[in-house]
Chain A
Amino acid sequence: MIRRLHSLPGLFAAVLIATLALTGAFLAFDSVQERAGATVPPSGQVSVAAIAAAVQARYPEVERLVRTASGSVIAYYFEADRPGAVLVDPLTGGPIAPHEPSNLARTITNLHRSFLAGDAGRAAAGLGALAMLALCVSGAVLLAGHLGGWKALLRPSRGTMAQRLHCELGRAAFAGLTLSALTGVYMSLATFGIVPDGDSDRPAPALESSAGVRVPVAELAALRAVDLNDLRELAFPAITDPGDTYALTTAQGAGEIDAATGQLLGFTPHGLARRFYETIYLLHTGQGAWPLALLLGASALAAPVLAGAGALLWWRRRGAQPRIAGNVAPQTADTIILVGSEGNSTWSFAATLHAALTAAGHRVHAAPMNALAAEYGGAERVLILAATYGDGDAPASAKLFARRLAASKMRLPVAVLGFGDRGFPRFCQFAEEVSAMLSARGWPMLIAPVLIDRQSVQDFAQWGQALGAAIGTKLDLVHVAARPKTVRLVLADRVDYGAETQAPTAILRFVPPPVDPLSGVWRRWRTPRLPRFVAGDLVGILAPGAEMPRFYSLASATMDGVLEICVRKQPGGVCSGFLHALQPGDAIAAFIRPNPRFRPAAGKAPLILIGAGAGIAPLAGFIRHNRARRPVHLYWGGRHPASDFLYEAELNGFMADKRLAHLATAFSRAPGGSHVQGRLALDAAELRSLIQRGAQVMVCGGRDMAAGVARTIDSLIRPLGFDLRTLRMEGRYLEDVY
């Protein structure tokens, strides 16, 4: 619901808001610029009488003095019967420049207020502000949910580039945008008279003045008493009308001054409504408070980017919407698939499962977990595919599941498959809770719950086999997440390690295929290039005839000119076997999957890189790109220094040029062999001090190694008063595990 509330007005109002935001940013920076150019004398230095006298000396027929919110003073006058307006120096009253409000600024102001479309446009601008307010509030609620509660609102966000951009930028711009939207709504309501602006529709009535002989303005007591910084406007009496008065408006109120006696004839303080409106106006425009104007302007600039990234997210989620062909009605189905998904990605797995079961002759109904019925007519089993949202919460389509389950008396055989990301501290927490709930209510488990890390299609296929065995149906779950567009790359060179220790591992470097000389000059601009990637991203490789891509961590970035991976040959592995058989010049089909979660944080804090075997690839990439020479400590485990010391020569080079500060290795098959976890424990004191100094830990390698490292690091930092969970939440413990 909140998500819908966030995306619908967002999409409809994106253009509206982008226009409001961009014009608003222009106006904010315009007022900052005006303020930068204005001289504002300190309070008590210049009185209104003094500036009025100075201006009148230069422009005898001065008609009106206006002090803008930004502190500029403008004099409106007549000279030789021609009207003029001039920006004057508040200290001397001397002219600075003719006052000519720019057409651009005025057009932008009108675009901002009314889209150049009169009252209808004003109403649209008001609705735009309202939509923006709805977006800010619902966005904050969503972000809090995404990060795991209001207290976690300042934690680093995770996800794809667009997600992180949307979250980080939204968080940074939240205060400014909310303030702009809230005050904008109020100003719009005031424009239409729905809330008061405290501004009288009527002019102050003319007061009875002495109509005596006028004294010089410099001698008027009532004007000498007012500081220039409090002035809003001073209208001079008409020369032709002896009874006319000075009309003075200040920050506090408005009054009339007798031109002969200098007495205040009447003064009406601004009402509460007026003062409130002026505060709203100040908060909306930042005029007279330039740091606020800067904040508002910068926040407004973020709005179009937020809208763009938000629209992209919406489009991707829409692309992942369930499209289940041949979905059977719930009461006639023998198998019910329930999906708990926030971003809909889990639905594509459900669709694969649905298709496989249907092909095997089952009557299958798929629905969101929220749609759990109190009873199903002919169902023999329920299969639950549940993702986890944020810090172990139920995803949107499963929020009602617990309540609905409690209200039902059903007990059907059930299997639970959890989807999650080990990078989150509570991996698959929700799926585990669902299994516990079902067991507690006496639902028999068909097979033990399985948790799938980052949408692993292999794990999904394995789960399918186990499920098939349990229900007596052969299930081949070949899940193809929208087959990616691949590029052709050829092997440039390879370095082989580990043959002696039964761990054949190769460092493979790929480049774009050479340009075919026959393709002609006109095709030169289409010279094949490397796709865009950085170290730590993943390359998906489709072995010939294979349906499922295999992913490998990248040890290089596009700018290195090669795509470098490190591949251990798995017994019976199709893709690793294919890659190990490649000779220079042979081609592969590859695509990039960005892995923004696994990147060193910006800054100079130390990096602790931990890996084993081929897991060194992205770590070597990070070290290679450590141009800032931040202290990097590498812990790596292999089998034997003489056989599989991957990147040995490069690492020595990195040590020499300080890209790598410290290298610690552990070899399991060397005399007195050890694992990388053990090597970490040896350096406990050093590691503790690094972590205390804000070091980030990045782990890459097999699952068992990662679990061992996690235990070691956790016990190592306990004495410091924090734990692994905290480190993970702060984004300081990242894993890339396979």
Chain B
Amino acid sequence: MNKIAATLGLATTLAVPALALAPKAEARTVTLTTQLRPYDGDGAYLAIYLTDARGKFHSTLRVAGSKAKYYKHLRDWARGRTAEAGRIDGITGASVGSGQSLRASVEIADALIDAGYQIRIDTAVEDGRDNPSEVVVPLTAAASGKPVAGRGYVAAFRFDM
């Protein structure tokens, strides 16, 4: 059954992350740290992604939560990534529990930094809240290393590069 589920998961998440897999010289490693608040409920689903200044989806950085059927609750990300033409299985992990934190290292193209792009986070918890774009931070050198609180489950988010 797992196999079938996995296959279906693949089928329904066929989307290429326009993640900047550019040559090393033109990209840098960015560490994303997301600390959740304590809350009552099962593990939270998170999508961390890039948008342009107007909020238009660019690419997926990280997803927490493996059941594709719940992705629609990460509304802004899920709506945006319909245009995405790649897979997210390589950057998808387990959901994040109450009060826990998620650390991830991603490669981001230099060309996107200080170029008006934003890092956004959508969160959702079953029988809890959906928080589309609860965190919106500019992808700038100046914003790096400064924690930002979300309106929903995210107590603090920071990126370091």
A residues adjacent to B (C-beta < 8 A): 63-64, 76, 78, 81, 83, 85, 100-101, 103, 106, 110, 119-120, 123, 126, 192-194, 197, 199-203, 205-206, 235, 238
Q: Is B45 an interface residue (CB 8 A)?
A: no
Q: Is the CB of A201 within 8 A of B1?
A: no
Which residues B26-71 have CB closer than 8 A to chain A?
40-42, 68-69, 71
Using an 8 Å CB-CB cutoff, how does the interface string of B121-145 with A read, 1 for contact, 0 for none? Answer: 0000001011010000000000000
Contact, CB under 8 Å: B72 / A200:
yes
Evaluate contact between B5 and A63: CB separation under 8 angstroms. Answer: no
User: Contact at A85–B69, with CB atoms within 8 Å?
Assistant: no
Query: CB-CB contacts of B19-31 with A at 8 A, as 1s and 0s?
Result: 0000000000000
Asked if B78 lies at the interface with its beta carbon under 8 angstroms from chain A, I say: yes
B100, CB-defined interface residue at 8 Å: no
Find out whether the CB atom of A64 lies under 8 angstroms from the CB atom of B40: no
- Contacts A83-B152, A202-B78, A202-B82: A101 and B4 contacting too (C-beta < 8 A)? no
Interchain residue pairs A-B with the least CB separation, the first 10: A203-B72, A193-B8, A192-B1, A203-B78, A192-B5, A201-B12, A203-B75, A123-B1, A203-B79, A201-B69
**Minimum C-beta distance from B96 to chain A (A):** 15
Assess whether A76 is in contact with B12, with CB atoms less than 8 Å apart. Answer: no
How far, in whole Å, are A123 and B6 apart by their CA atoms in the complex? 14
B103 to chain A, nearest CB (A): 22
- What is the minimal beta-carbon distance from A81 to any residue of chain B, in angstroms? 7
Cβ-defined contact, A193 with B129, below 8 A: no
Residues of A within 8 A of B72 (CB): 200-203
Asked whether B151 is an interface residue with its Cβ less than 8 Å from the other chain, the reply is: yes
Name B's A-contacting residues (CB within 8 A).
Answer: 1-2, 4-5, 8, 12, 40-42, 68-69, 71-72, 75, 78-79, 82, 127, 129-130, 132, 151-152
Give the CA-CA distance A103 to B127 in the complex, in Å.
Answer: 12
Tell me, in angstroms, the Cα distance from A101 to B68 when the chains sit together: 24
Q: Give every chain A residue within 8 A of B40 (Cβ-Cβ).
A: 100-101, 103, 106
Closest to B8 in A: A193
27 A-B residue pairs with CB within 8 Å: A83-B152, A100-B40, A101-B40, A106-B40, A106-B42, A110-B42, A119-B1, A119-B5, A123-B1, A123-B2, A126-B1, A192-B1, A192-B2, A192-B4, A192-B5, A194-B1, A197-B69, A200-B72, A201-B12, A201-B71, A201-B72, A202-B82, A203-B72, A203-B75, A203-B78, A203-B79, A205-B82
* Cα of A716 to Cα of B12 in the assembled complex, Å: 76
Partner of B4, one of A83, A193, A197, A202: A193
Q: Please tell me if the beta carbons of B68 and A201 are within 8 angstroms of each other in the complex.
A: yes
CA distance A203 to B71 in the complex (A): 8
Most B Cβ at <10 Å: residue of A100, A101, A202: A202
Residue of B nearest to A123 (CB): B1
Contact A101 B127 (CB under 8 A): yes
> Which of B1, B72, B78, B127 is most buried by chain A, counting CB atoms within 10 A of its CB?
B1
- When C-beta atoms are compared, the residue in chain A nearest to B2 turns out to be A119
* Chain B residues with CB below 8 A from A81, complex form: 151
Cα of A545 to Cα of B2 in the assembled complex, Å: 67
By a CB distance below 8 angstroms, the chain A residues around B132 are 238
Closest A residue to B94 using CB positions: A118
Q: Are B78 and A63 in contact (CB under 8 A)?
A: no
Query: For A192, what are the chain B residues with a Cβ–Cβ distance below 8 Å?
Result: 1-2, 4-5
- Cα distance A212–B42 in the bound complex, in angstroms: 39
Q: Considering the chains assembled together, what is the distance between the CA atoms of A197 and B82 in angstroms?
A: 21
Nearest-neighbour CB distance to chain A for B90, whole angstroms, equals: 19
Q: In whole Å, how far is B94's beta carbon from the nearest beta carbon of chain A?
A: 9
Q: Which residues of B contact A201 (CB under 8 A)?
A: 12, 68-69, 71-72
Please, how many angstroms separate the alpha-carbon atoms of A238 and B40 in the complex? 24
Q: Which residues of A contact B151 (CB under 8 A)?
A: 78, 81, 83
Residues on A with beta carbons closer than 8 Å to the beta carbon of B152: 83
Cβ-closest chain B residue relative to A189: B1
Q: Would A63 and B79 count as touching, CB distance under 8 A?
A: no
A235 to chain B: which residues have CB within 8 Å? 130
Please give the distance in Å from B119's CB to the nearest CB on chain A. Answer: 17
B12 CB contacts on chain A under 8 angstroms:
201
Indicate which residue in B4, B69, B82, B130 contacts A199 across the interface (CB closer than 8 Å). B69
Of all chain B residues, the one with the shortest Cβ separation from A61 is: B151
Contact of A194 among B4, B82, B129, B130 (CB under 8 A): B4
Question: In the complex, given contacts A106-B41, A202-B82, A205-B79, what are 20 additional A-B residue pairs having Cβ atoms less than 8 angstroms apart?
Answer: A64-B129, A76-B129, A78-B151, A81-B151, A103-B40, A106-B42, A119-B1, A119-B2, A119-B5, A120-B2, A123-B2, A126-B1, A192-B5, A194-B4, A202-B71, A202-B72, A203-B78, A203-B79, A206-B79, A235-B130
- Closest Cβ–Cβ distance, residue B37 to chain A (whole Å): 9
Return chain A residues, CB-CB under 8 Å to B79.
Answer: 203, 205-206
Chain B residue numbers with a CB within 8 Å of A63 are 129
The interface residues of chain A lying within 8 Å CB-to-CB of B71 are: 201-202
Q: In the complex, A120 Cα to B3 Cα: how many Å?
A: 12
Quote the shortest CB–CB distance from A202 to chain B (angstroms).
6
* B42 cross-chain contacts in A, Cβ below 8 A: 106, 110
Contact of A64 with B8 at beta-carbon distance under 8 Å, contacts A100-B40, A101-B40, A101-B41 already known: no
Across-interface contacts of A119 in B (CB, < 8 A): 1-2, 5
- Given the complex of chains A and B, what is the CA–CA distance between A205 and B1 in angstroms? 30
Specify which chain B residues have a CB less than 8 angstroms from the CB of A64 in the assembled complex. Answer: 129-130
**Chain B residues within 8 Å of A206, by CB:** 79
Q: How many angstroms from the CA of A116 to the CA of B99 in the assembled complex?
A: 19
The answer for the CA separation of A206 and B5 in the assembled complex, in Å, is 28
In the bound complex, residues from chain A placing their C-beta under 8 Å from that of B127 are: 101, 106
A85 to B41, CA, bound (A): 13
Docked CA distance A126–B5 (Å): 14
CA distance A192 to B9 in the complex (A): 10
Of A63, A64, A193, most B-chain CB atoms within 10 Å:
A193
Q: How far is the CB of B151 from chain A (nearest CB, A)?
A: 7
Cα A103 to Cα B5 in complex, Å, equals: 28
Docked complex Cα distance between A110 and B41 (Å): 11
Report chain B residues within 8 Å CB of A126: 1
A549 to B71, CA, bound (A): 73
Nearest Cβ distance between residue A457 and chain B, in whole angstroms? Answer: 55
Q: Which residue of A lies closest to B55 (CB)?
A: A241
Bound Cα distance A205, B72 (Å):
10
List residues of chain B with CB within 8 A of the CB of A103.
Answer: 40
CA distance A103 to B12 in the complex (A): 32
